[in-house]
Amino acid sequence: MISRLRLAFAGLLAGVALSCAATTYQTFPTPDPAAGPAGDMCRIYAARSTQMMGGARSVEIVVNDQTVGRLGKAGYLCWDLPAGRTVVQALFHGSAIDGKPVEAVFGFDGEGGRTYYYEMRVDSGSKKATVQPLGEEDGKALIESRKAPEVRETP
């Protein structure tokens, strides 16, 4: 009886560990970083912070009601979009307590030919999702420390 209980507990722990190690994926190919965005497009990089708070959540990125992809703990997303005003939603999924996503919404005016970097995190005091724009140097350093996303069909 005790060995069955231990086996069941070990299976539960393995499942929790796998769910916490969410894979980063996006629903279309990652643009070529060497080429840079076209003159009428801007490029967005989004990555998770290295903080522990909210680390078990995956982050779904949505632009214009279309899912760009999901961020696991150690990945980044990269996509090009037309220059101009854009609103982006970051939905932090997977709370073990309430199961409800925590949402951050941010907008920006993208200039053609430019690249933008954003860091996603959960504020430890308010427990709210935040999005921090980063400068080019800090943004590149964050992206270089992350894995490129897998490309998957739309779920």
139 with 45: CB under 8 angstroms? yes
DSSP state of 24: P
pLDDT tens for each residue of 55-102: 556 788 999 888 999 888 788 999 999 999 999 988 877 655 555 667
Tell whether 13 is covered by a domain. no
Q: Which residues make Cβ contacts (< 8 Å) with residue 103, sequence separation at least 6?
A: 89, 90, 91, 92, 129
Please state the pTM of the whole predicted model.
0.76
**Count of Cβ atoms closer than 10 Å to residue 26 Cβ:** 23
Does residue 120 fall inside a structural domain? yes
* Phi, psi of 7, deg, nearest 5: -65, -45
Domain of residue 41, CATH code: 2.60.40
List phi, psi (to 5°) of 74: -115, 20
Q: Establish if 64 belongs to a structural domain.
A: yes
Residue 1 inside a domain? The answer is no
Stated length of the chain:
155
Residues whose CB is less than 8 angstroms from the CB of residue 67 and which lie 6 or more positions away in sequence, other chains included: 27, 60, 61, 154, 155
Burial zone of 122 (CB within 10 Å; 0-12 exposed, 13-18 middle, 19+ buried)? buried
For the segment 8-55, what is each residue's pLDDT rounded down to a tens digit?
Answer: 443 433 333 334 446 888 887 889 888 989 999 999 999 887 654 445
101 in a domain, yes or no? yes
